[in-house]
Amino acid sequence: MRTDVVVVGGGTAGNVVAARLVEAGASVVVCEAGPDYGALDEGRWPSELLDATTLPTSHDWGFTGESADGRTLEFDRAKVIGGCSSHNGSTMSIGWSGDYASLPPGWSVDALRPAVDRAIERTRVHVPGEDDIQPFQRAFLDACASLGVMRTDDLLDPKGGVGVSLSPVNVVDGKRWNTAIAYLDPVRQSSGLRVIDRCLVDRVECVGGRVVGVHTLVDGRPLRIGTDLVVLAAGTYGTPAILLRSGLGPASDLRSVGVDVVVDLAGVGRLVQDQPVLRLEFASTALLDRELAAFAAWRGFLPEEQTVAKLASSTANAPFDTHVFPWIEPAEEGTWRCVVPIGLLRPDSFGSVRLADSDPTSAPVIDHRYLSTASDVERLVEFVPWVRELVHTDALRGYVGPAQRFPEDEPQRWAMRHHVHYWHPTGGAGLGDPDDEFTVCDARARVLGVEGLVVADASLFPRVPRATTALPVTAIGEHVATKLTG
């Protein structure tokens, strides 16, 4: 088999690149490791992947790694067409402009603005109406205001600062409008597009410093696809692993797992980050249970997550560095749990993605090195007293019952033992100055030392942005596609 372009990963950004290249006249093969449920109007999509009121748990890769204290954490990543855009919380934000200013030329907020706008339009991002705010989320808005954190609704403004917002969402008629629906569906009938699902990519084949093909396993059977252009969009865990199996990475790491060195790239699998979170939990009250039931009966739906507060720690070097993003989740029958997580958006800790061995069916070794700096621990726990005060405000005290998961003393030690994560891993194939030893991709997202190999996903970020990453990654797809077609 031969094609103009192979897009590895039919996820958040991969679908964007594939669709834009097909629209430009290229023949494109999308290799997706999970199932492809086809166009939305064919009616084959599982209901849990479309239900935007809650997060599904199906179609997971099963990635795991260690917490700061050695616990095993599950790193939820969607193994399905649409990738994590098919199972995320649907909350969209862009972060702070300064985070993008540190990227190479052509990746500033102003340069990305057209891509962001196209992403917003295609994925139908909008702010829900005031009547759609459920009782717990409305009370959170009021509680924040009573503590001086005022309503700003600026999560899509890269120059925004401290405030609390109703989250923009990629939701249409209650359905999570993932990038498979938004981008692939309009080109599904094109002769230029072929999606091969249940297709696990082993490696990219390079000869004489350029790409000549991709080696895959389709339902366990080998398939080679010849091409002159490969776009890696397998995510922060998948893209570095494929690069490493292709012989592109730190020479010593490659030799340790029996992979021949094609290009010695020290940055592959390095500068990997994720945003650590303290998940604080409280019982609901009977009053909240009744009001949630009444809201669900009235509106016909009950979204669990709708608001985000942006806060600045005392040592923040930017307008904000923390999210508090509350949600509700079912507890015992007819009751709810109130979750008020604190997320550190811009950690100082860096980790890595490495190969366990050269087998493409083996999971990579993921080590985020959470909370490995004192500054991360201090900033993460700084808002624990604020949350305690928040749940006792007039707006929330009638809804929030006893604490079920909360540090009563020694919050720093508690954070090490109980932190989780925000589902936003980045890095491992970072953009940067070609003279920097940890740079993997140039300003056009091309892998250094290999002609015809491009990256288009969250692994391009050398540092995680102060955002939920779905919108920035969709914009990466748009931006890289423009560079490939322009």
Q: Which amino acid is at 160?
A: G
SS3 319: coil
Surface-to-core class of residue 395, CB atoms within 10 Å of its CB (0-12 exposed, 13-18 middle, 19+ buried): buried
The count of domains in the chain is 2
Determine, yes or no, domain membership for 356: no
Picking from 86, 27, 40, 87, the residue whose alpha carbon sits closest to that of residue 184 is 40
Name the residue range of residue 199's domain.
1-45+62-126+168-269+425-486
Backbone angles phi, psi at 328, to 5 degrees: -115, 155
Picking from 281, 418, 277, the residue whose alpha carbon sits closest to that of residue 340 is 281
Facing residues of 64 across strands? 74
Q: List Cβ neighbours of 81 (8 Å cut-off, separation of 6 or more).
A: 10, 15, 32, 34, 35, 36, 37, 180, 184, 195, 197
Give the CATH number, domain containing residue 138. Answer: 3.30.410.40
Q: Which amino acid is at 18?
A: A
Q: CB-hemisphere CA count at 13 Å for 13?
A: 31
Q: Tell me the chain's radius of gyration from C-alpha atoms.
A: 22
Residues 110 and 194 placed together within one structural domain of the fold: yes
Determine, yes or no, domain membership for 399: yes
Please check whether residue 455 is in contact with residue 447, taking contact to mean a CB–CB distance below 8 angstroms: yes
Residues 485 and 378 placed together within one structural domain of the fold: no
List, run by run, the mean pLDDT of 10-residue segments along the chain (486 residues): 97 98 98 98 97 92 97 97 95 96 93 98 96 97 98 97 97 96 98 98 97 96 98 98 98 97 98 98 97 96 96 96 97 93 98 98 98 98 98 98 94 96 97 94 98 98 97 98 94
Residues 230 and 329 placed together within one structural domain of the fold: no
Determine, yes or no, domain membership for 212: yes
Residues 401 and 484 placed together within one structural domain of the fold: no
Picking from 427, 440, 269, the residue whose alpha carbon sits closest to that of residue 355 is 269
The DSSP result for 375-391, as a single string, is: HHHHHHHTTHHHHHHHH
Residues 263 and 332 placed together within one structural domain of the fold: no
Residues 310 and 194 placed together within one structural domain of the fold: no
Give the CATH number, domain containing residue 253. Answer: 3.50.50.60
Tell me how far apart the alpha carbons of residues 159 and 154 are, in angstroms, rounded to a whole number: 8
Tell me how far apart the alpha carbons of residues 123 and 291 are, in angstroms, rounded to a whole number: 31
CA angle 246/251/255 to nearest 5° reads: 75
Residues 27 and 107 placed together within one structural domain of the fold: yes
